[in-house]
């Protein structure tokens, strides 16, 4: 608009801005950029491993029902709400809530803290991905064989007892300690990878959404390409159909377990990346007359479709892994039988294994029992294949093991880790945006700092905080953050978001907003969801979650080579001080909501929100401040 240009001129010589040519707020180059950014933010590493993992433990195809119900009644309304609010009020996550009503301004600050904490540990996962990526260019892959022990007479003991893949992950990558209390030392290899990850995030974010918008063309589309390649490759592997059948065979009994519904609701939540504030910022850079209803439905549906699409190659590969393990088990038994009964070679093969097994068992039971053969059962192996009980290990243990058995391992490993990295990177953009735009709105940093420097400062501070995760016990801390920062605070923030929009802004005003933006008012479905269903669902989920967590003392799985049941992971209780930190992590992001509310109430500034007053097209903060400064300077 001409006002912006004019103002840009007058202050051009005083303040050098490095903004885009419009001279003021950033803007998307085109609609595709915006959609790709939102989709990239929503689609993350969790879509690839957490969804298939949940699908598998909650009875395959039956999990889709609570998942889709949660998507329709909880995910989509929240998504639509955030996009609409951001696009209409054209501010970041702090500004919109302050605009609606200063009392709930704390919600934005909560979003800021959550985005920061999640960004810190999420990028650590990307650092691990980078480590694996760097190590995938070797022949043979370093996680395919055990290293030798010091005297070169045998393989390393820890590696022999577990598997080379586990050893590479726990010992060579993490160098993990047996307990969260034992911090160990800083792992320099990991520090380098972490620095690289933050540098890559920085270079993509160096110019705000101008540079990020270009980066998402690659980071959001490349994973789909790789997923398709993996899909085709995985479906041609032997045993793929077993894995797929296992995934999609519904076990209706699990629907009676309330944990399933709880996990479906929280999965949709974390998967769509609502309540982070990033989506609000992204949609505020849109033009006002944009159909955000269609965008919200599109993003939500694509996110869930990606989860489903990704679970097909995942389960095909897991079926392949189980089949490989089955054949190895059978080969072992065949060797034992052949040696013991002195048959000639190739008499017992994989094909006639079952026949020979039965025959020998019945004909020579004594001899047979003395061999104590291992039982080779496909269903058991399929279950066993998914035993890493916590999800971050799934990608690094399960997939890397599968990749070894595929011909051309290096290619698949490199492709896989690049895909994981771009999935995670596009999600990181949303996290960083969720930190940067509230910071700019809160005016915590002086105006003359260019945005390159702000991004650099944020990346540096996050890197320094994330050094905690490069300690030997770092993986345990990532699990703590993953489990607690990304669950309870988000639920509370989302609840307050809905309450804020529907009750503070008012359903009527909000419908008008949407009418202005899209040309039609929200229909009865949206209204019912916003006013009743979604808040109710969120409240129920929150209460249930707290109850479930409060019932048992939280535990974690520790990798302890001295454990008697090694290579199984040892279940340990969190010590008290870690428990206190967990409580802090849950409480600190949301404490700002009541604090700010109290502050505002005490100060008596209880302005009603009105569209006319807030959205003055001549209202340009920078302009007003500057001329006042000019006046005071000359006075």
Partner 1 sequence: MIAYADFKIESLAYFSKKMPNHVRWVLQQIKSRIERLNALFRPVMHYNCSAHHEGTNMTEEASNISSDTAAYPWSKNEMFLFRAALAFAMRDYTNGEEFGVSDIHPCDETKRVSFWFVVTRPNTTDLVDKGTVEMAIKKSRNRINGAFLLTDQTLEFDGIYPTLAAPVSPDTPPWLIVFGVVMGAVSVGIIALLAYPLVQRKLKKNKDADDEDSDEETGVKTAEIGANDGIYNSTFSDDERFTQM
Look up residue 186 and give its DSSP letter: B
Looking at the Cβ atoms of 5 and 601, the one nearer to partner 1 is: 5
End-to-end CA distance of the chain: 31
Q: Does 303 carry a binding-site annotation?
A: yes
The H or E element spanning position 77 is helix 76-89
Q: Which of 32, 182, 203, 245 binds partner 1 (CB under 8 A)?
A: 203
Give yes or no for residue 155 binding partner 1 (CB under 8 A).
yes
Minimum gap (Å) between residue 471 Cβ and partner 1: 21
423 is in an annotated binding site: yes
Query: Which listed range, 146-154, 252-260, 374-382, 388-396, lies at the site for partner 1 (CB under 8 A)?
Result: 146-154
Of 332, 619, 621, 629, the one binding partner 1 by CB under 8 A: 332
Tell me the closest approach of the beta carbon of residue 270 to partner 1, in angstroms.
29
Integer Cα distance of 81 and 87 in angstroms? 10
Give me Rg for the CA atoms of the chain.
27
Does position 221 bind partner 1 by CB under 8 A? no
Answer for which of 9, 252, 525, 606 binds partner 1 (CB under 8 A) is 9
Question: Is 47 labeled as ligand-binding?
Answer: yes
Instruction: Give the residue, chosen from 157, 182, 199, 613, that forms a contact with partner 1 under the rule CB under 8 A.
Output: 199
Is residue 417 close enough to count as binding partner 1 by CB under 8 A? no
Task: Pick from 15, 32, 148, 547 the residue near partner 1 by CB under 8 A.
Answer: 148
Per CB under 8 A, the segment of 33-41, 234-242, 327-335, 545-553 that binds partner 1 is 327-335
In whole angstroms, the minimum distance from the beta carbon of 282 to partner 1 comes to: 21
Tokens for 125?
């996962």
Of 68, 72, 191, 192, which lies in the binding site for partner 1, with binding defined by CB under 8 A? 192
Pick the binder of partner 1 from 22, 369, 379, 630 (CB under 8 A). Answer: 630
Q: Which of positions 550-579 make contact with partner 1 (CB under 8 A)?
A: none
Is 272 within 8 Å of 79 (Cβ atoms)?
yes
Instruction: Report the SS3 class of residue 554.
Output: coil
Which residues 6+ apart lie within 8 Å of 355 measured at CB? Answer: none
- Which of 453/595 has CB closer to partner 1? 453
Closest by alpha carbon to 484, among 558, 546, 535, 433?
546
Give the shortest CB-133-to-partner 1 separation in angstroms.
Answer: 7
2 contributes a contact to partner 1 by CB under 8 A? yes
> Does the footprint of partner 1 cover residue 623 (CB under 8 A)?
yes
> Considering the complex, what minimum distance in angstroms separates the CB of residue 535 from partner 1?
44
Report the C-alpha gap between 463 and 199 in whole angstroms.
10
Give the Cα separation of 605 and 105 in Å (integer).
12
Tell me: does residue 429 bind partner 1 (CB under 8 A).
Answer: no
Name which position in 172, 179, 452, 568 contacts partner 1 (CB under 8 A): 452
Which helix (H) or strand (E) segment holds residue 428: the answer is: helix 409-442
Our CA dihedral for 59, 65, 70, 75, rounded to 10 degrees, sits at 100
Is residue 369 at the binding interface for partner 1, with CB under 8 A as the rule? Answer: no
Query: At its nearest, how many Å lie between partner 1 and the CB of residue 140?
Result: 9
- Least CB distance to partner 1 at residue 423 (A): 17
Query: Does residue 364 belong to the site contacting partner 1 (CB under 8 A)?
Result: no
Q: Do the beta carbons of residue 197 and residue 431 sit within 8 Å?
A: no
Nearer to partner 1, 152 or 553 (CB): 152
Spatial neighbors of 369 by CB under 8 A, at least 6 apart, are: none
Q: Determine which residue in the list 69, 191, 200, 465 makes contact with partner 1, applying CB under 8 A.
A: 200
Chain CA centroid to CA 299, Å = 16
CA distances from 107 to 56, 110, 289, 349, 432 (A): 35, 5, 26, 65, 17
Comparing CB distances to partner 1, the nearer of 145 and 221 is: 145
**Nearer CB in complex with partner 1: 240/403:** 403
Helix (H) or strand (E) holding 558: strand 555-558
Question: Which runs of consecutive H residues, i.e. helices, occur in 552-610?
Answer: 576-603
Tokens standing for residue 460 = 């540096």
Binding flag, residue 196, partner 1 (CB under 8 A) = yes
> Residue 348: how many CB atoms within 10 A of its CB?
22
Beta carbon nearer to partner 1, 18 or 25: 18
Contact 445, 118 (CB under 8 A): no
Residue 68 found at the interface with partner 1 (CB under 8 A): no
Tokens (6 digits) for 174: 């993490």
HSE (CB half, 13 Å, CA atoms) of 73?
19
Decide: 174 and 187 in contact? Cβ < 8 Å. yes
Nearer to partner 1, 200 or 442 (CB): 200
CB atoms within 10 A of CB 554: 14
Q: Is 43 annotated as a binding residue?
A: yes
Measured distance CA(176)–CA(27) in Å, rounded: 45
Helix or strand holding residue 572 (H, E): strand 570-573
Stretch of 118-126, 263-271, 344-352, 384-392 lying at the interface with partner 1 (CB under 8 A): 344-352
Query: Residue 338, interface with partner 1 (CB under 8 A)?
Result: yes
Annotated binding site for Na(+): 40, 42-43, 47, 271, 303, 423, 427
- List, as residue ranges, the binding site: 40, 42-43, 47, 271, 303, 423, 427
Point out which residues bind partner 1 (CB under 8 A).
2-3, 5-6, 9-10, 13-14, 16, 18, 133-135, 137-138, 145, 147-148, 152-155, 192, 196, 199-200, 202-203, 206-207, 211, 331-332, 334-336, 338-340, 342-346, 452, 623, 627, 630-631, 634
């Amino acid at each position: 608009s001409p006002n912006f240009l004019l103002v840009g001129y007058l202050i051009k010589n005083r303040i050098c801005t490095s903004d885009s040519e419009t001279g003021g707020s950033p803007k998307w180059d085109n609609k595709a950029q915006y959609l790709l950014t939102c989709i990239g933010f929503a689609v993350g590493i969790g879509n690839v491993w957490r969804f298939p993992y949940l699908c598998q433990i909650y009875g395959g195809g039956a999990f889709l029902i609570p998942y889709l119900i949660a998507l329709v009644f909880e995910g989509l309304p929240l998504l639509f709400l955030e996009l609409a609010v951001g696009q209409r009020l054209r501010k970041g996550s702090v500004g919109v809530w302050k605009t609606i009503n200063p009392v709930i301004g704390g919600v934005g600050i909560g979003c800021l803290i959550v985005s920061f904490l999640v960004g810190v540990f999420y990028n650590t996962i990307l650092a691990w991905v980078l480590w694996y990526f760097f190590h995938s260019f070797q022949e043979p892959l370093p996680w395919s064989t055990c290293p030798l022990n010091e005297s070169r007479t045998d393989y390393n003991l820890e590696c022999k007892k577990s598997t080379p893949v586990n050893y590479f992950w726990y010992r060579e990558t993490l160098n993990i300690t047996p307990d969260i209390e034992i911090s160990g030392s800083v792992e320099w290899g990991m520090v380098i990878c972490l620095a690289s990850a933050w540098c890559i995030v920085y270079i993509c974010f160096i110019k705000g959404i101008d540079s990020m918008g270009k980066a998402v063309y690659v980071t959001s589309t490349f994973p789909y390409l790789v997923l398709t390649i993996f899909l085709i490759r995985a479906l041609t592997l032997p045993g793929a159909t077993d894995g797929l059948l296992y995934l999609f065979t519904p076990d209706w009994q699990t629907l009676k377990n309330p944990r399933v519904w709880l996990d479906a609701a929280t999965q949709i939540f974390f998967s769509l990346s609502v309540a982070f504030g990033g989506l609000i910022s992204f949609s505020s850079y849109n033009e006002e007359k944009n159909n955000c209803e269609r965008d919200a439905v599109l993003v939500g549906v694509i996110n869930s479709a990606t989860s489903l699409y990704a679970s097909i190659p995942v389960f095909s590969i897991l079926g392949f892994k189980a089949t490989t393990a089955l054949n190895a088990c059978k080969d072992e038994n065949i060797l034992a039988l052949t040696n013991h009964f002195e048959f000639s070679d190739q008499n017992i093969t994989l094909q006639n294994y079952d026949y020979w097994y039965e025959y020998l068992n019945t004909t020579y039971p004594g001899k047979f029992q003395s061999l104590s053969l291992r039982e080779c059962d496909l269903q058991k192996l399929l279950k066993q294949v998914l035993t890493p009980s916590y999800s971050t290990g799934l990608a690094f243990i399960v997939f890397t093991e599968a990749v070894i058995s595929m011909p051309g391992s290096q290619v698949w490993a490199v492709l896989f880790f690049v895909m994981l990295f771009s999935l995670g990177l596009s999600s990181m953009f949303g996290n960083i945006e969720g930190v940067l735009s509230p910071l700019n709105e809160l005016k915590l940093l002086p105006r003359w700092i260019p945005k390159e420097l702000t991004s650099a400062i944020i990346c540096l501070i996050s890197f320094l905080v994330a050094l905690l995760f490069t300690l030997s016990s770092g993986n345990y801390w990532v699990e703590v953050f993953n489990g607690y920062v990304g669950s309870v605070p988000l639920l509370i923030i989302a609840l307050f978001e809905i309450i804020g929009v529907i009750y503070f802004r008012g359903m009527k005003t909000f419908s008008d907003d949407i009418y202005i933006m899209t040309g039609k008012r929200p229909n009865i479905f949206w209204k019912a969801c916003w006013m009743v269903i979604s808040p109710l669902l969120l409240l129920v989920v929150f209460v249930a979650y707290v109850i479930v967590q409060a019932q048992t003392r939280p535990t974690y799985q520790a990798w302890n080579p001295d454990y008697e049941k090694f290579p199984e992971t040892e279940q340990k209780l969190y010590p008290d001080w870690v428990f206190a930190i967990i409580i802090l992590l849950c409480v600190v992001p949301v404490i700002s909501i009541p604090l700010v509310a109290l502050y505002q109430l005490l100060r008596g500034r209880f302005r009603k929100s009105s569209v006319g007053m807030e959205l003055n097209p001549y209202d340009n903060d920078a302009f007003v401040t500057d001329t006042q400064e000019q006046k005071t300077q000359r006075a």
